[in-house]
Amino acid sequence: MVATIQRVGQGAKQRTIAYLRGQQAGAPGLVWLSGFKSDMVSTKASAVADWAAGQGAAMLRFDYSGHGQSGGDFAAGTISAWREETLALIRAQTSGPQILVGSSMGGWLALLAAQALAAHGEAGRLAGMVLIAPAVDFTQKLLWARLPEAARHEIMTRGVWLRPTPYGPEPMPITRALIADGARNLLMDAPMRSYCPVHILQGMQDEDVPFSHAQALVALLPHDEVTLTLVPDGDHRLSRDQDIALLLKTLAQMRANTRPA
């Protein structure tokens, strides 16, 4: 499938965002929100897209700037920029209620999008959320808080630290701009709203997002319907066949509960 391009932002800050959208029109639709340094053709995203097509459900997936097929430099990316892109694509490329499916960082962006949509009277666009190991506030609570002093010093003095990662051959650049901007987008310092039902899938062997982080997130959503499913032997990716089967079962249940009569 060939990606289509949407431009987001103005002037020097304009980015070209690549997206894939199924031809189905079944409501509610699905919007896939990838994780940090992941993309819209990952194992889970592709599995959800194939399932959605079989269900006749509309689905949108896209690459943030600096990711996958989109333009831009990954090292120049920030949570605010990726939030802007998420909102722009939801508004321009979907119609009616949507289930946001956020993986890792995508879970943070899903909740940030919910705050922005509600602030503009668009909470009705949210049919539900399925969040996979949601890395809400990860820049501060899961990254900066764990960094050794030498890495923090390098970020603050040189502006970037190259973080080794088990998810690919190249290290991930962690920038001072990413950390500073993340601090302006924190959600877990107070109770919040999702404005829709939420189902969280969380591996208990996740070394990047501890399951205690997901439990803390549940406690901060006291006014919404939230379900937490813990996978005892699950890691951060939750990409095994049984994990994907659980994800698709969860999506099917949420769509069944929110589909218009």
pLDDT digits (tens, 9 = 90+) for 39-76: 999 999 999 999 999 999 999 999 999 999 999 999 99
Kindly report the pTM of this predicted structure. 0.97
Q: Do 58 and 30 touch, CB atoms closer than 8 A?
A: yes
Nearest alpha-carbon partner for 32 in 249, 232, 258, 248: 248
Is the pLDDT confidence value at 176 over 90? Answer: yes
Which residue type occupies 175?
T
Residue 104 among the catalytic residues: yes
Spatial separation of the C-alpha atoms in residues 95 and 97, rounded to whole Å: 7
Q: Say what the pLDDT of residue 261 is.
A: 44
Mean pLDDT of 83-111: 97
260 pLDDT band (50/70/90 cuts)?
A: low
pLDDT above 70 covers a percentage of the chain that reads 98
Q: Let me know the angle formed at the C-alpha of 190 by 182 and 96, rounded to the nearest 5 degrees.
A: 75
Q: Say what the pLDDT of residue 71 is.
A: 97
Active-site option among 67, 199, 213, 236: 236
Every domain range in the chain assigned CATH 3.40.50.1820: 4-34+49-69+77-137+192-256
Assess if CATH 3.40.50.1820 describes domain 4-34+49-69+77-137+192-256. Answer: yes
Nearest alpha-carbon partner for 244 in 195, 201, 185, 196: 201
Spatial separation of the C-alpha atoms in residues 209 and 196, rounded to whole Å: 23
Residue 120 among the catalytic residues: no
Active-site option among 137, 206, 208, 243: 206
**Strands lying side by side in the sheet with 26-33:** 4-8, 15-21, 57-62, 26-33, 98-103, 126-132, 198-203, 226-231
Spatial separation of the C-alpha atoms in residues 103 and 131, rounded to whole Å: 6
Residue 236 among the catalytic residues: yes
Spatial separation of the C-alpha atoms in residues 125 and 28, rounded to whole Å: 9
Mean pLDDT of 75-101: 97
Q: Using CA atoms of 105, 111, 116, 122 in order, give the dihedral in degrees to the nearest 10.
A: 130
Contacts of 236-244 with C-beta under 8 Å, sequence gap 24+, read 236/104, 236/133, 236/203, 236/206, 236/207, 236/208, 236/209, 237/43, 237/44, 237/133, 238/44, 238/132, 238/133, 238/201, 238/203, 239/42, 239/43, 239/44, 243/201, 243/203, 244/43, 244/44, 244/47
Mean pLDDT of 101-115: 98
Q: pLDDT tens digit string along 232-244?
A: 999 999 999 999 9
Q: Say what the pLDDT of residue 26 is.
A: 83
Active-site option among 38, 103, 104, 194: 104
